[in-house]
Amino acid sequence: MPGLMGGSGGDSAPVTPEEFARTLAAIGGFEPAPAVAVGVSGGGDSVALVLLLRHWVAERGGTLLALTVDHGLRPESGDEAAAVGQAMARLGVPHRVLRWEGTKPSAGVQAAARTARHRLLGAACAGAGILHLALAHHRDDQAETVLLRLARGSGIDGLAGMAPVRADGAVRVIRPLLGFSHDRLLATCRAEGVDWIEDPSNHNPRFARARLRAARALL
């Protein structure tokens, strides 16, 4: 499978089910048998979130639905979305691919893709009667968000970063990984023997987050 990452590397400890359960207990607001949807790109962060949520919902008699948005911005994106579906099937997690149809903008692509992704994920959750949508933003993403907002001249209020829970229409968006590093999430995948896909846009210097990641050591 092209672009697969995995194997050895790093000495960070995997996120334990107990740590993850404490994080979700702090977020709160779940049904006794929670129904949760999770946005999964196939990257290591979202795959780790699926692994952690799969265990968490199973212990509580709940259900988990994985959702992948195919933005159609690269020729191989459809095959990658299908590969994510196959990976979810191996984990026993139901999966749907959501396609961003229509003409794509020539400028502001990432912002437009983000808007489309949120719209598609929210609509899928509402259609399935699922209140909770889990996203895999983590501690490193949070730091990048604050730095990007600082660079754009945000005031103190704008530097608050991403919230662990927020309402988005009829959907409750939760981000239970904000306290965990990217390295720990990859370690979680390795501990389960599960590979992931590396998104090439993460290293594309056209995009501000990719430039920031390239300069992370200096920062």
Q: Which of 146, 150, 117, 128 is nearest to 46 (CA)?
A: 117
Q: What is the rounded CA–CA span in Å between residue 219 and residue 213?
A: 9
Domain boundaries, the chain: 12-214
pLDDT of residue 70: 96
Contact present, 32 and 170 (Cβ < 8 Å): no
Q: In terms of CATH, what superfamily is 12-214? A: HUPs (3.40.50.620)
Structure tokens that stand for 150 in this block? 């600082």
Q: What is the CA radius of gyration of the chain?
A: 17
Per residue in 194-212, pLDDT (tens digit) is 999 976 554 444 444 444 4
Per residue in 1-59, pLDDT (tens digit) is 333 344 444 458 999 999 999 999 999 999 999 999 999 999 999 999 999 999 999 99
